[in-house]
Structure 1
Amino acid sequence: MKIITLVENHEDKSNPSLKAEHGVSFYIEIGDHVYMSDVGQSGNFADNAVKLDVDLSQVEALAISHYHYDHGGGSGRFFQENKKAAIFLRRSIEAEYLAVDDPESIRYIGIDRGLLKQHADRIIYVDNNQEVAPGFHLLTDIPGKYPKPHGDERLKMRFKGETKPDTFQHEMVTIVEDEKGIVILTGCAHNGVLNMIAAAQNAFPSKPIRAVIGGFHLNREDDETVWEIGEKLLELDIPKIVTGHCTGDHATEVLGKVLGDRLQGLYSGLVMTFK
């Protein structure tokens, strides 16, 4: 299994030609199959793919973790580069997704639903836990055992003229499975990274977790909360935690103090191989 970070917030200092942006996109090779999780906020993932010798036209399935621009904004470019892959999203109401920092600062952060309708023949909406392609699973059954990140509080949804807190029932967990275990891709983990891990444990009770990869949305948490999450991750004995994007640099540093060399930071161009 190989997972390549096509784009992420952080640059690869050894390869500055690769673009970085607030977003994330992963290219996944497992056996003879090729998948993707998320497409960042623009076409940068595709520009980087060329430099990383990744052929996007061969991708068989794309999962978009949730309906925010920094994970699905590059969809238009993906449709240009790939003419065959099915695109999977969690079924949800047609709400507008917003960031509200104050009543005078309301920003649309959703994806282009018009584009989804334009390519409706390639969109598949997910209603429950399922294996959508060999070794490629999407989980919608996410428990609420642990608190959601405080950063969610500024994120809203507007539906039929009513604005209310985002429930994040449009988010799903991506699982890549091989004979040795599973890798969890969290997207932004708006439902909480520990809840996403619990979802994976519920769905795969006999499978070891080889890695957890993605954003954890901890950039608005205090150090004590981040430390407690790090201790829980350590207790779960997951050998590899790879994070960045919405986790925040400071929270990543705090996690590093708890997790030591189990923790690795994400950046554009990072290649992760699981043998």
Structure 2
Amino acid sequence: MKITTLVDNTRLENRQDLAVERGLSLYIETESSKILFDMGSGNTFCQNAQRLDVDIEDVDIAVISHRHHDHCNGAIDFIAHNSKAKVFLRNSEDKNYYFRAYGFKYDVGVNKDLLKNSNERLVLVDRTTEIAPNVFVITDISSKHEKPKGNQYLYTQSQNRWERDSFDHELLLVIKEADGLVIFTGCAHSGVLNMVDTALTHFPGENIKAVVGGFHLVGLPLFDSIGGTKQNIKDLGLALLQYPIDKLYTGHCTGKKAYGLLKEILGERLEAMPTGRSISV
């Protein structure tokens, strides 16, 4: 399996030709499928795809991890550039999504035009679904472990009522190969430990070749603060060491400070996935 980062908050130092944004988009190529996982907040991933020799028109299926703009709003551009692929996202109540902190409010939700005008391309899932051979989207994510503390700034609004975001719009992508699983987290608002537990519940006894995506360990993104304490982040790293995970590739909402703390614990098992990087797992 080959995975290429089309969009992340950062880029490879030697690829100044690639654009960045606070978002995530991954192109995944397996033996049988070409998959787009998340699409950032606009057409940046399409522009970068051309420079990375990725043909968006050839994508077979697309998956949206959750209904925040930096992962799903680029789907409008994807549908304009790809005429065949279905776009899978979790079925959930129509809500507005906001970041709220210290009197500041910012809309972080899905562009409603996507939901209104793309019905023939969107597939809403509310249960574990095999969307291609050995490619699974999972909606019943475990809640055994605490969710990221950075979630405290994320809210939903429906019928003039504010609530903390429960992330009932988040899903997990798991690809099963002969030598193990690859887990794609999106932002892991449900918690990366919960996502790993969920994958192992569905595929008991399997080795995890890689966990790929954001872990949402950032607190206030503008300041790259960490959600919680340094010890919280280190404890997460220690917990991840207990799982049969070969490698973890992260970026985006993990945050640079939290990444550094995790790196102290996980060492070579943890690597960054900036825009332009391709890996084989």
**Shorter chain as normaliser: what TM range?**
over 0.9
- Normalising by structure 2, what TM-score? 0.95
Partner of 1:190: 189
Contact in 2 for aligned 1:137/1:176 (Cα 8 Å)? yes
SS of structure 1 residue aligned to 2:176: strand
In structure 1, C-alpha distance between the alignment counterparts of 2:251 and 2:75, rounded to whole Å: 21
Letter in 2 for 1:250: K
Partner of 1:205: 204
Partner of 1:142: 141
Letter in 2 for 1:74: G
In structure 1, C-alpha distance between the alignment counterparts of 2:135 and 2:9, rounded to whole Å: 25
> Superposed, which structure 2 residues align to 1:162-201 within 5 Å?
162-201=161-200
Partner of 2:126: 127
SS of structure 2 residue aligned to 1:215: coil
Unaligned runs of at least 5 residues, structure 2: 219-226
**Distance apart, 1:135 and its partner CA:** 2.3
Partner of 2:97: 97
235-244 or 192-201, which deviates more: 235-244
Partner of 1:20: 20
Letter in 1 for 2:145: Y
**Distance apart, 1:227 and its partner CA:** 0.3
**Distance apart, 1:221 and its partner CA:** 2.6
In structure 1, C-alpha distance between the alignment counterparts of 2:204 and 2:36, rounded to whole Å: 24
Partner of 1:242: 249
Runs ≥4 in structure 1, deviation > 6 angstroms?
Answer: none
> Superposed, which structure 2 residues align to 1:256-267 within 5 Å?
256-267=263-274
Identity of aligned residues (%): 38
Unaligned runs of at least 5 residues, structure 1: none
SS of structure 1 residue aligned to 2:250: strand
In structure 2, C-alpha distance between the alignment counterparts of 1:226 and 1:218, rounded to whole Å: 8
Q: Give the aligned length.
A: 273
**Distance apart, 1:166 and its partner CA:** 0.6
Letter in 2 for 1:19: A
Contact in 2 for aligned 1:137/1:174 (Cα 8 Å)? yes
In structure 2, C-alpha distance between the alignment counterparts of 1:24 and 1:70, rounded to whole Å: 7
In structure 1, C-alpha distance between the alignment counterparts of 2:246 and 2:11, rounded to whole Å: 24
* Aligned: 1:108 with 2:107: yes
Partner of 1:232: 239
Contact in 2 for aligned 1:138/1:174 (Cα 8 Å)? yes
Partner of 2:157: 158
In structure 1, C-alpha distance between the alignment counterparts of 2:68 and 2:96, rounded to whole Å: 10
In structure 2, C-alpha distance between the alignment counterparts of 1:224 and 1:187, rounded to whole Å: 24
Instruction: Please give the root-mean-square deviation of Cα atoms over the aligned residues, in Å.
Output: 0.9
SS of structure 1 residue aligned to 2:150: helix
SS of structure 2 residue aligned to 1:116: helix
**Distance apart, 1:16 and its partner CA:** 1.0
SS of structure 1 residue aligned to 2:169: coil
- Normalising by structure 1, what TM-score? 0.97
